[in-house]
Structure formats: structure tokens, C-alpha cells
Amino acid sequence: MNASIDTVAVRQYLLGLQQRIVDAVQAEDGKPFVSDGWTRPADGRLQGDGLTRLVEDGALIERGGCNFSHVRGQGLPPAATQHRPGLAGAPFEALGVSLVFHPRNPFVPTVHMNVRMFAAQPTGQAPVVWFGGGMDLTPCYGFEEDAAHFHRSCRDALAPFGAALHPRFKTWCDDYFFLRHRGEPRGIGGIFFDDFDELGFAQSLAMTRAVGDAFLDAWLPIARRRRELPYGERERDFQAYRRGRYVEFNLVLDRGTLFGLQSGGRTESILMSLPPLVKWRYRWEPEAGTAEARLYRDFLRPRDWAEWSPTTPLP
């Protein structure tokens, strides 16, 4: 890869980010994450290495992972060139951190965060580099103050890079994390960006780092606030039902999952995003007036959560 692209520095940042997140969540949960390093063979479809960090059956996290990967390949797969068809089949390098935490308590929202960099080297041309990432929240039971806190954290992370980015990336997130076959969003959104290079390499990287660095302050206060709320079989049952939507999105629509599987990635690491217990029901709808119905009515639709306050409810 071209020497002007400092993948060593990006790699060091990403590994440090992974460690900071794992350390913080381990301290909250009390159960150590498994550490599983891996290396791809030099003659394989993909070359490179990674570090999978996973916890299962914890006090806070029922199943969750925070993964780092740094891979190289001889041809970009379709999932990575959807918006750049001219790069299809070009040699590439990709590195990133991706996490999903599925909490045990149904009142603690599931959360996803990802930051990544791609660099393609088309024959006879300069490298083409772009960034992607974001974070989004998927509650089973909605709390306005949690939604507002999460979205304000996203807004504040992007603010140094221009006021236009947050509304743009929020809308992108609402559009991306939408189950078209269900006609409903996966959760309450956050921010999402992909194929991003318009600030130049240094500033686009700085923006991506700002998103990664904002994660813990965006999610941990919510987890701390909700983890001791009492729950029973009803709440766990609804949690399992809503997790089914998470599985559907990740296996049918998610570009990151498809990229990993299409490029010959490490299946166990890719599918760490799936929850441990899931349930489907035929044509089920929540009973009117319940907390479950309120999730659909008040939360599973795009809203300007960063502007919410107890005295100025949103439309």
C-alpha cells in the first residue's frame, strides 16, 4: 500500500480503541472477555490478522463482542463496491473495529458501533481510500432520556467537523437500519456513514476516530441507568422477539456482514453480532396501551431525538 497512507497508525488507534472499550465493559460486567487472536494464511483468499474479544453469559452482557480485523485481498467483493463499481475486483486493504453488545436486562438497549477504513489499489492508479462507521441503539423498551443522550453524543462527536454532518449521518442511519421486508426500523438509529472521504484523508480519519472515541460515553451511562431495573418472563419474551429483527437485518441486509462472508472472512467473528436467544411469532402485535406497544408508537420511527427535553416533547 502507498506509503502516504499510514495504516500502521490507523491500526494502532483501532487496537487501542478496542482495548479501551473492552476494559470499560469488563469493569461494568465483571466477567472477562475471551481473547481470540487469529491470522489468515499467506496463500489464502484473504491475508491479515485480527483479534476477537467476546463475552457470553455475563451479568450485564448476555452476549457481545468487540472485534478488530486487518485484512488484505486481491479483489474487492460486491458488498464493498456497491457505490464504487469502478473498483470492483481491485486489490484492497481493510481494517476496523466492530462491536455489538446484547445485554441481559431487556431494559438495557442493544448497541452497535463500527469504525473502519478501506484502501483499494486499482491497477496503474493511486490508492483510493475511504472510511465508514457509526453507532446505533436498539432498545426493547423505550426511554426518551436515553434516546436523547445517545443522539446528542453522536451529534457532539461530529460537531467539530461541520454542522451539516450530524443531520446527514442521522438520516443515513435511519435509512440504512431499516428492514424493508418488514417496513420498520431496527431501532432508534444514531449515525451511519460509508464511502466517506470528502474531508481528505487526515480529517476523514479524525472524524472516524471521534465517532469511535464517543462510544463509551454514549452507551455506558444508559446501561448503568437501566441494568438494575426489575424484569420478568414477559420482558425477556419480548426481548427475544425483538432480537429476531436484529438477526433478520444482519443476515439479510447488513453490508458489513455480507462483505465479511463474501470475502472469505472469519465466520465465527463475523457472526458474533447475533444474540444468544431469539424468538419469532406469526403475525404478532403488541397489546394496545402496553410498554411494548409504546416502543412501536413512540420510538420505532425517525425523530429528532437530540432536540428532546422533558419540557419540549417531540412531535
Q: Catalytic annotation on 149?
A: no
Q: Is 175 helix (H, G, I), strand (E, B) or coil?
A: helix
Could you give the CA distance from residue 136 to residue 191 in angstroms, rounded to a whole number? Answer: 6
pLDDT confidence tier of residue 2, bands split at 50, 70 and 90: very low
* Grid coordinates belonging to 5: 497512507
Q: Is 66 helix (H, G, I), strand (E, B) or coil?
A: strand
In a domain, 295, yes or no: yes
Q: Mind listing the pLDDT tens digit for each residue in 15-68?
A: 999 999 999 999 999 999 999 999 988 887 788 999 999 999 999 999 999 999
List the CATH number of the domain containing 96: 3.40.1500.10
Q: Answer yes or no: is pLDDT of 196 > 60.
A: yes
More confidently predicted of 315 and 272: 272
* Grid coordinates belonging to 138: 436498539
Q: What is the pLDDT of residue 209?
A: 98
Share of the chain above pLDDT 70, in %: 95
* Mean per-residue pLDDT, 168-182: 96
Could you give the CA distance from residue 33 to residue 45 in angstroms, rounded to a whole number? Answer: 29
- The answer to whether 68 and 269 have CB atoms below 8 angstroms apart is no
In a domain, 315, yes or no: no
Can you give the residue range of the structural domain that contains 240? 7-307
In a domain, 167, yes or no: yes
Q: Is 111 helix (H, G, I), strand (E, B) or coil?
A: strand
Q: Answer yes or no: is pLDDT of 281 > 70.
A: yes
Q: Which residue is catalytic, options 112, 149, 151, 166?
A: 112
> Which residues have C-beta within 8 Å of that of residue 1, sequence separation ≥ 6?
7, 93, 119, 121, 127
Q: Answer yes or no: is pLDDT of 188 > 90.
A: yes
Q: Answer yes or no: is pLDDT of 92 > 80.
A: yes
Q: What is the pLDDT of residue 201?
A: 93
* Mean per-residue pLDDT, 102-106: 98
Q: Answer yes or no: is pLDDT of 87 > 90.
A: no
In a domain, 313, yes or no: no
In a domain, 1, yes or no: no
From residue 304, alpha-carbon distances to 59, 143, 190, 210 in Å are 32, 14, 10, 21
pLDDT confidence tier of residue 5, bands split at 50, 70 and 90: confident
Q: How many domains does the chain have?
A: 1
In a domain, 2, yes or no: no
Mean pLDDT estimate for the chain: 92
Q: Which residues of 4-36 are buried (b: 16+ CB within 10 A; e: fewer)?
A: ebebeebeebbeebbeebbeebbebbeeebeeb
- Closest C-alpha to 137, from 208, 26, 226: 226
* Mean per-residue pLDDT, 71-76: 82
Considering Cα of 226, then 139, then 192, then 115, what sign does the dihedral take? positive
* Grid coordinates belonging to 226: 437501566
Cβ-in-10-Å burial (0-12, 13-18, 19+) of 37 comes to: exposed
* Grid coordinates belonging to 7: 495504516
pLDDT confidence tier of residue 123, bands split at 50, 70 and 90: confident
In a domain, 182, yes or no: yes
Q: What is the pLDDT of residue 1?
A: 42
Q: What is the pLDDT of residue 42?
A: 82
Q: Which residues of 136-156 are buried (b: 16+ CB within 10 A; e: fewer)?
A: bbbbbbbbbebbbbbbbbbbe
pLDDT confidence tier of residue 3, bands split at 50, 70 and 90: very low
In a domain, 11, yes or no: yes
What is the separation, in whole angstroms, between the first and last Cα of the chain? 50
